[in-house]
Structure 1
Amino acid sequence: MRSLSLLLLSASCALIISLAYAHPPEGVWKKKLTWKEDWVQVWKTVKKEAWETKWKKVSVPIWKEVKVPVWKEEKVPDWKIVKKPKIEEREVPAWKEVKVAEWKKITKPIWVPTKVAVWKEIQVPIWKEVQVPYWKEIQVPIWKEVQVADWKQMFEPQWVKMGIPGEKFLGKDHEGWEYTSHDLWRKKLIWKPVWKKVWRTEKKQEWKTEKKQEWRTEKKQEWKTEKVQEWKQDKKLEWKDEWIQVWKPVKKQIWIKEKRETWIEEKVQIWRTEKRQVWATEKRQAWKDEWQSVNVPVWKEVKVQEWKKVWKPVWEKVWVPVSHGHGWD
């Protein structure tokens, strides 16, 4: 720790000695005009909306009670003669159909089972030779266009510098002195041969795989229709005599009860509606003048404070170094 403090002390002393013996740069102090940014407070006139109270005469609706005649319906009792239906029962003769049994001879068809010879079609397999197409892969030559690099000689225009020997007259000035020149240079257009790479289209033979259709013989199974005799169970229609019981309708007299409708008079009480005049209170609308205050918008000019950015000139003192010329610049 002590060695570190001695090292720092020696370094600071060396720095002070070097600054004391160092030569300051030569120069002069000059004034420089610069513009400094500043904010100043200004007042701006703006219009602000305000409300002004005014009085306005308006008509206000009011309700007024008046007496008006009205008709009122009331129920009054009364008597009315009405006719009502009455049902009376009595017996009357009538004819009724009844069923009477009797026997009747009929011929009835019956089915008798028999056997009948029939021909039945069956499918018998047979083999048949057929030609079947199939695809075979073959190689076919084709021509394909390819790009081949080639060099072609071309001529490009180029300007070259060419000298003209001898003395040339260029003109006179305003005092009559002649201007001449010697060994003038002029431009000459020549064509320079250059070799450029171009692409030439050539045809190249390649082989392409294609499918060719060929035929081969194969055996195919088919079905042949043949007829075979069989015996089938069938029915034969025959007729047989038979007695059956049937029912014959006959008429028989009976007595039935019948209801007859008659009308009887009866006195019933009813209520009749009558109208009677009465006085009722009714509200009618009328108008009354009143003064009402309303707020009217007006524009008022007020002063508003705001900040404005300005630039002010300021003279600053700057140090300008002086350089001594040694003829080497």
Structure 2
Amino acid sequence: MKSLTLLITLLCFLTFSVFAHPPEGVWKKKLVWKEDWVQIWKTVKKEAWETKWKKVQVPVWKEIQIPVWKEEKVPDWKIVKKPLIEEREVPAWKEDKVQVWKKITKPVWKLIDVPVWKEIQVPVWKDIQVPVWKEIQVPIWKEIQVPYWKEIQVPYWKEIKVPVWKEIQVPIWKDIQVPVWKEVEVPDWKKIWVPEWVKMGIPGEKYLGKDHEGWEYTSHDLWRKKLIWKPVWKKIWRKEKKQEWKTEKKQEWVTKKVEEWKTEKKQEWRTEKKQEWRTEKKQEWITKKVQEWKTEKKQEWKTEKKQEWKQEKKLEWKDEWIQVWKPIKKQIWIKEKREKWVEEKQQIWRIEKKKVWATDKKLIWKDEWKSYQAPIWKEVKVPAWKKVWKPIWEKVWVPNSHGWD
């Protein structure tokens, strides 16, 4: 359109210049806009797939330590009573004979009866304790049998422990290094778009009107503000997983010598429970033999002196000193055995509960990162052609205008 206008203007100028007198005017420069095509880069959105991470909960088994009670034997001391035979000396009277001089009168020899003491054995009764079986009535229950226990002392052979050394495996905790993933922040650059006002020209002509000669006036230098988005790189911090090592405890087994006890037999007295029966609804009685002790008399023999008479010859009417044996009682000490009970400390083993830690498994939820593909819109640059108007200066003839034209 502009080229056609320019061509018509030139033809008119040539026509007037041939057939008319030369017009009066001046050459001036005129700013015109010329159409042109330039290559630009256009931003379009393209669908792409991005790998993203999300946190999920997965069940895992975790070993935990729980307290349990373990029974173990510990040594202790128990006071028991044992019979002890003790010998002691007690006083007793012993008959002995000593020589003494006796004055006698010797008459004629005459048979006379003289008393003498003779040791004889006479029976005596001694009280002793003998076991007897006694029938007693004990209750039993006819319909419902409910046992109850009676404590009695009975001898038994007790197994005692003798210490021996034995190698056993004991658990210990050892520090080990295990890998863990830790989230750390690392610097990164992110492209962001910030708004900015720029000044740009409006292409094309704008009609302003005509003058008295018929010339059209147009404007080509209009400007306006345009909001554009300017790319800026911003420093951000993103999270990454970094492998680190942490110290954990691992259970291992080591060989350790422990003192154990082997079994030996030793006679002791223990309390046992004797079962008797009672009824709840109907009571009956049965006969049962129990051992008791009763006093009985036992015949023994002891030495006593008995007076007898024997004939002797007696000399009358004659004094004479003779040596005779005189029985006297002499105190002596004899040994006597006596049984008594003494208290003695004896080592026993009692069961105590000890608190130990046992390993148990507990189901917990662990955070893990799982990757997935998510669609995103990505801005890419594609080439395009844009129509622009370029200002150029052209040389045009402007005639002089008089007031009467």
Q: TM-score, length-normalised on structure 2?
A: 0.26
Q: TM-score, normalised to structure 1's length?
A: 0.31
